[in-house]
């Protein structure tokens, strides 16, 4: 369920409708498209609504001004009972400082996972799986923006065992989003 948090009460009602009538399995926040910071108070009421239904919150991550890892960290730490998923490995640029901040975000927030789309460094995914937790990474295709063969190859080529890869390919997503 994707809503514009600037719609206030209408957004809350749409989240409710998404969960009750449309079968949505989570709430998707896109700070870049809807022009808000991930940790802005404008999202509180819709995140609280997702919490009422025990649904995860997915955040389009990595846009430095609106969804920097520290902003997602702040949001996730304010709602420790909600499962959060940060898209793009928690960052987009895959540069030193953003990789560092994404890693710190994961270490600080046990209720936060990342998805793999656009995270072209297998070593980052390998480190998160082995050092932060194999349950904290979810395969995502990023379709239609990213090349599907490349996205899948990233997981195939990662130096992970088959059990860990199985979790990335699907069992982590099933746990987070339900069957």
Condensed to tens digits (0 to 9), the pLDDT of residues 90-130 reads 887 767 788 889 999 999 999 999 999 988 788 889 999 99
Tell me the pTM.
0.95
Average pLDDT along the chain: 93
Q: Summarize pLDDT for 72-87 with one digit per residue, the tens.
A: 999 999 999 999 999 9
CATH of domain 5-177: 3.20.20.140
Share of residues in the chain with pLDDT > 90 (%): 79
Strands of the 137-138 sheet, one edge to the other: 27-29, 57-59, 84-86, 112-115, 137-138
Which residues are CB-contacts of 19 (< 8 A; sequence separation ≥ 6)? Answer: 1, 50, 53, 55
pLDDT at 62: 84
Q: Over 70: is that where the pLDDT of 179 sits? A: no
Q: What is the mean pLDDT of residues 131-145?
A: 92
Q: Over 90: is that where the pLDDT of 55 sits? A: yes
Q: What is the mean pLDDT of residues 21-25?
A: 97
């Amino acid at each position: 369920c994707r809503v514009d948090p600037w719609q206030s009460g209408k957004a809350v009602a749409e989240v409710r409708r998404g969960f009750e009538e449309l079968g949505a399995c989570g709430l998707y926040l896109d700070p870049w498209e809807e022009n808000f910071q991930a940790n802005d108070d404008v999202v509180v009421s819709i995140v609280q609504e997702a919490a009422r239904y025990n649904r995860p919150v997915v955040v389009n991550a990595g846009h430095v001004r609106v969804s920097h890892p520290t902003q997602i960290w702040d949001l996730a730490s304010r709602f420790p009972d909600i499962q959060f998923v940060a898209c793009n490995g928690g960052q987009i640029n895959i540069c030193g400082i953003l990789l560092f901040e994404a890693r710190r975000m994961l270490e600080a927030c046990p209720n936060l996972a990342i998805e793999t789309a656009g995270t072209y460094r297998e070593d980052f995914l390998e480190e998160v799986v082995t050092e932060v937790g194999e349950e904290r990474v979810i395969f995502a295709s990023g379709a239609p923006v990213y090349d599907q063969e490349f996205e899948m190859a990233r997981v195939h080529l990662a130096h992970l065992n088959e059990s860990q890869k199985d979790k990335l390919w699907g069992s982590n997503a099933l746990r987070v989003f339900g069957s």
